[in-house]
A and B are shown apart, each in its own frame.
Chain A
């Protein structure tokens, strides 16, 4: 027997209980660290989502107050023509304020009356007008209608205003508090679904602010992005994966695309500002420019996804098509591309979801303006949902915090829907070759 074997035979692994137990304790600890890390990440996700839901769910309801409005024929439509233009021009301020005063007959004096009006949204007279325009049969009747309260009363009703604070520190003073309690006792306060939130654009008054303008802006912007990025992305992916020769140029394009995917989004905003706005003179704040910038930003993502979808198509398909005499181009367009299309669509949806959530580059090209109109075309000034969230997050009113969170919930709902669509698409068309 050699020395080496003898030496090795003299050494034995230390398999004592104590040592093994120590090693297993280390094993357990290490495993626990992993679990703690995942737990921490999950906890943060839970906190993030729950605080937003907790802050935001109440914005889907809006406090309404019941008013007995007298739709006086002589004020609204003295000649009885029911002409919409005449109807739109009537003195609804007078009608609605009268209804308010009638609800509180005991309140007199200019100052108190003015404070009384402040229980209601400044939109009150227009609300009454819209009711009449929608249903002219109201004219000549007196009807109990529900109208929006002011944002502060809404907050009070939802319990966000602490009644125990001294009056000076409270957004609603004792007088208004008393009025509110009286209305509540009479059953004239109710929280109804907040349709305004989904049917209007931005406003300085929280109770009149909605996300429709931003949603339309997002839709227009994404439309521009999609129209550009899908054909360009698919074409580039097809060229690079199927036709490009392996040389320095295509290497450069490849490295370039990978790097572009990791360039901070705000840099694309700077590009948009310098090139699209200053050089080409395209309109500021327009979905057209926003869409262009987001298209350049998502292009690498879509090219990379497209290429991996093409890569997943087995070479045997290509060989089969070439074997029956199809040209290279025919092989790709007739056989490879249709098989890769579900993968490319999945990548595109994910790219679009990324574009939908993007904010920073759009700030650079002026999509951050305060816009009260719902945009009608891709060259109108518009804002998008994430930017609307950013704008509202800056507003000091408590009622805007609630609406910001609600807008976030809507945004997340869209993102989840898009990602689900991508997952379903992938599941449906997934093939194992």
Chain B
């Protein structure tokens, strides 16, 4: 499928499945934090994971790039297939996987380095640029794509920690896309931001959809409705319901989903 053509909404349902999770469960020691999740993520789509806090949505997101590997005592069962390969099989290397599946976190976490080096860090460790010019190109394109270029182009040498919260979060998004990932995971990317910065990020997410598969965890139902094409509702470690965003918000099948979107549980 060609990247040059904009994707219109009528095509959405037919896009290829990029990631497919089957029977995914997560254990912290003995505690079962997530049970038997089956879900597909399609290309050029934004999928929202919603649910009350502690429902396992972030835990599930962190399974998709094996970030749970870094947590002591955490065990993942089931299979998650990315482009036909189970990412939990022995011959998949988490380092390689994470280069293909980028992640943006709840709190902006720019490295204590310059803006340039923040973006350049990923390309450098993955050997994506052979010289300074190429690196400059990557940094510039990433910042442009993240809509930050015009704001920071004159101060690339300043520390990334000096930017405002919203700018920092866009810097983190730029940092993630600089590695040219195929999938981008976002863990409540706007929860620490003000409404204006949130609007900018949401706009950005919608633009990025053209080139990436995006999975976003959010606690805001409005946000899920605004940015995503598909929505999955988690409750107490179970995937309760999934479907087109419109359907989930207007005509949910499950009572728990109904209660959640009407604000009775949360």
What residue of chain B has the Cβ atom nearest to residue A9's Cβ?
Answer: B3
Bound Cα distance from A1 to B210, whole angstroms:
8
CB atoms of B99 and A15 under 8 A apart = yes
CB atoms of A4 and B179 under 8 A apart = no
Specify which chain A residues have a CB less than 8 angstroms from the CB of B224 in the assembled complex. Answer: none
Specify which chain A residues have a CB less than 8 angstroms from the CB of B210 in the assembled complex. Answer: 1, 5
CB atoms of B127 and A4 under 8 A apart = no
Residue in B95, B100, B145 whose beta carbon sits within 8 Å of that of A5 in the complex: B145
Query: Chain A nearest CB: distance from B147 CB in Å?
Result: 10
CB atoms of A14 and B211 under 8 A apart = no
What residue of chain A has the Cβ atom nearest to residue B93's Cβ?
Answer: A20
Bound Cα distance from A13 to B126, whole angstroms:
5
CB atoms of B177 and A15 under 8 A apart = no
Interface string of A1-27 (1 = CB under 8 A from B): 111111111011111000110011000
Number of interface residues of B (CB under 8 A): 29
CB atoms of B128 and A20 under 8 A apart = no
Specify which chain B residues have a CB less than 8 angstroms from the CB of A23 in the assembled complex. Answer: 95, 125
Query: Chain B nearest CB: distance from A2 CB in Å?
Result: 7
Specify which chain A residues have a CB less than 8 angstroms from the CB of B177 in the assembled complex. Answer: 8
Do A13 and B180 form a contact, CB below 8 Å, given A19-B127, A20-B93? yes
Specify which chain A residues have a CB less than 8 angstroms from the CB of B122 in the assembled complex. Answer: 13
Bound Cα distance from A14 to B129, whole angstroms:
9
Instruction: From A4, A9, A20, name the one whose CB has the most chain B CB atoms within 10 angstroms.
Output: A4
CB atoms of A20 and B129 under 8 A apart = no
Residue in B95, B127, B211 whose beta carbon sits within 8 Å of that of A1 in the complex: B211
B150 close to chain A: CB less than 8 A: no
B242 close to chain A: CB less than 8 A: no
CB atoms of A8 and B145 under 8 A apart = yes
Bound Cα distance from A136 to B181, whole angstroms:
97
Query: Chain A nearest CB: distance from B93 CB in Å?
Result: 6
For the residues of A in contact with B, the DSSP-based class is helix
What residue of chain B has the Cβ atom nearest to residue A12's Cβ?
Answer: B180
B4 close to chain A: CB less than 8 A: yes
B178 close to chain A: CB less than 8 A: yes
Residue in A3, A13, A14, A20 whose beta carbon sits within 8 Å of that of B141 in the complex: A3
CB atoms of B126 and A15 under 8 A apart = yes
What residue of chain A has the Cβ atom nearest to residue B146's Cβ?
Answer: A4
Bound Cα distance from A368 to B236, whole angstroms:
71
Bound Cα distance from A7 to B100, whole angstroms:
17
B123 close to chain A: CB less than 8 A: yes
Bound Cα distance from A1 to B1, whole angstroms:
14
What residue of chain B has the Cβ atom nearest to residue A27's Cβ?
Answer: B95
CB atoms of A1 and B180 under 8 A apart = no
* A/B pair count, beta carbons within 8 Å: 64
Interface residues of B in 85-101 (CB under 8 A from A): 93, 95-96, 99-100
Specify which chain B residues have a CB less than 8 angstroms from the CB of A1 in the assembled complex. Answer: 3-4, 6, 210-211
Specify which chain B residues have a CB less than 8 angstroms from the CB of A4 in the assembled complex. Answer: 140-142, 144-145
CB atoms of B145 and A11 under 8 A apart = no
Interface residues of B in 50-75 (CB under 8 A from A): none
Query: Chain A nearest CB: distance from B213 CB in Å?
Result: 14
CB atoms of A14 and B145 under 8 A apart = no
CB atoms of B95 and A20 under 8 A apart = yes
B244 close to chain A: CB less than 8 A: no
Bound Cα distance from A11 to B133, whole angstroms:
13
Residue in B93, B96, B129 whose beta carbon sits within 8 Å of that of A11 in the complex: B129
Interface string of B107-139 (1 = CB under 8 A from A): 000000000000000110111110000100110
Bound Cα distance from A8 to B179, whole angstroms:
8
CB atoms of B138 and A14 under 8 A apart = no
Bound Cα distance from A106 to B240, whole angstroms:
106
Specify which chain A residues have a CB less than 8 angstroms from the CB of B128 in the assembled complex. Answer: 11-14
Interface residues of B in 168-214 (CB under 8 A from A): 177-180, 210-211
CB atoms of B180 and A11 under 8 A apart = yes
Specify which chain B residues have a CB less than 8 angstroms from the CB of A15 in the assembled complex. Answer: 96, 99-100, 126
Bound Cα distance from A6 to B177, whole angstroms:
12
Bound Cα distance from A237 to B103, whole angstroms:
47
Do A8 and B3 form a contact, CB below 8 Å, given A1-B211, A2-B145? no
Bound Cα distance from A320 to B225, whole angstroms:
46
Specify which chain A residues have a CB less than 8 angstroms from the CB of B96 in the assembled complex. Answer: 15, 20
Query: Chain B nearest CB: distance from A19 CB in Å?
Result: 6
Query: Chain B nearest CB: distance from A7 CB in Å?
Result: 4
CB atoms of A8 and B141 under 8 A apart = yes
CB atoms of A8 and B180 under 8 A apart = yes
Query: Chain A nearest CB: distance from B84 CB in Å?
Result: 16
Query: Chain A nearest CB: distance from B121 CB in Å?
Result: 12
Specify which chain B residues have a CB less than 8 angstroms from the CB of A24 in the assembled complex. Answer: 95
Bound Cα distance from A8 to B134, whole angstroms:
11
Specify which chain B residues have a CB less than 8 angstroms from the CB of A12 in the assembled complex. Answer: 128, 180
What residue of chain B has the Cβ atom nearest to residue A7's Cβ?
Answer: B141
Query: Chain B nearest CB: distance from A126 CB in Å?
Result: 66
Bound Cα distance from A416 to B226, whole angstroms:
64
Bound Cα distance from A14 to B99, whole angstroms:
9
Do A2 and B138 form a contact, CB below 8 Å, given A13-B127, A13-B180, A20-B96? no
Question: Which 3 pairs show the lowest CB-CB distances between chains A and B?
Answer: A13-B126, A4-B141, A14-B127
Q: List 9 A-B contacts (CB under 8 A).
A: A1-B3, A8-B141, A8-B142, A8-B178, A11-B123, A13-B100, A15-B96, A15-B99, A23-B95
Supply 17 further A-B pairs (C-beta < 8 A) apart from A1-B6, A4-B142, A20-B93.
A4-B141, A4-B145, A5-B210, A7-B141, A8-B180, A11-B128, A11-B134, A11-B180, A13-B100, A13-B122, A13-B123, A14-B127, A15-B99, A15-B126, A20-B95, A23-B95, A24-B95
The chain B residues found within 8 Å of chain A, CB to CB, are 3-4, 6, 93, 95-96, 99-100, 122-123, 125-129, 134, 137-138, 140-142, 144-145, 177-180, 210-211
